[in-house]
Homo-oligomer: A and B are copies of this chain.
């Protein structure tokens, strides 16, 4: 009948999770589609936009409903609206991307229709979701280098070695510890708590926390989003 456009909200959720060998890997949770189109295929979590809710709130709610997680960082990625991206009719998807803390991701709901995949080894997904994840990966890697969002993968306090490990896993390259330290210190993104971590067979590293008073993340025109 009418040539209506469906408006949907989806989210690319990133977390660092241990793989079979126990190494942390950049991973994303996907949901299996239970109806046409693309029944049986894996897809990004999401759903129809809600008229009473902001788009970011819808993204966060869908994220919580499917995975039980709450994002440490949430930002709009892009609005996908090519006419042919869904065989079932015109669907415009506002896509967000989110970062989830590693310790939270451990608790994530997983089941027959919700599973985690390594971000760089995805199966063929429903719709244009492979394209979307590829773009989200590019944004994450680009933004990690000029912005300070890596701490969103970690807890409230962390060592510089942990923060560096996040960068190394996401960017897939080793980083010089000495230069990494200076770079982070120069950005004033973190402040030392004064505490140290004991127990390692080496000099006890300092603990740092994120300095929220320094604005290092441009999070689009709506500054209320972002760090939650």
A94 CA to B93 CA in the complex, in Å? 11
Bound complex: CA A173 to CA B123 (Å) = 49
> A92 near B90 (CB under 8 angstroms)?
no
Within 8 A of B (CB), among A34-60: 49, 51-55
Closest to A9 in B: B81
Chain B residues closer than 8 Å to A51, beta-carbon distance: 3-5, 83, 90
Q: Give the residues in chain B near A5, CB-CB below 8 Å.
A: 7, 49, 51
* Interface window among A109-117, A131-139, A199-207: A131-139
Query: How many interface residues does chain A have, given as a range?
Result: 20 to 34
A178 at the interface (CB under 8 A from B): no
Can you report 11 A-B residue pairs in the complex whose CB atoms are below 8 A from each other? A3-B51, A5-B49, A7-B7, A7-B92, A51-B90, A54-B83, A55-B81, A55-B92, A76-B79, A78-B221, A132-B221
Provide the residues of chain B in CB contact with A155, threshold 8 Å.
none
Q: Which residues of B contact A55 (CB under 8 A)?
A: 79, 81, 92
Closest 10 CB pairs of A and B: A3-B51, A135-B221, A79-B79, A55-B81, A51-B90, A79-B94, A5-B51, A5-B7, A54-B82, A5-B49
Query: How many copies are assembled?
Result: 2
Note all chain B residues with C-beta closer than 8 A to A78: 76, 220-221
Are A222 and B82 in contact, CB atoms less than 8 angstroms apart? Answer: yes
> CB within 8 A of A52: which of B3, B52, B222?
B3
Given contacts A51-B83, A55-B79, A92-B94, could you give 9 more A-B pairs where the C-beta distance is less than 8 Å? A49-B81, A52-B83, A53-B83, A54-B82, A76-B78, A76-B79, A79-B79, A131-B221, A135-B220
CA distance A54 to B83 in the complex (A): 6
CB neighbors of B among A73-88 (8 A): 76, 78-83
Chain B positions within 8 Å of A49 at CB level: 5, 81, 92
Report B-chain residues with C-beta under 8 Å of the C-beta of A54.
81-83
Q: Quick one: closest B residue to A224, CB to CB?
A: B82
Contact with B along A130-148 (1 / 0, CB 8 A): 0110110000000000000
Mask, A56-67, CB within 8 Å of B = 1, is: 000000000000
CA A87 to CA B79, docked complex, whole Å: 23
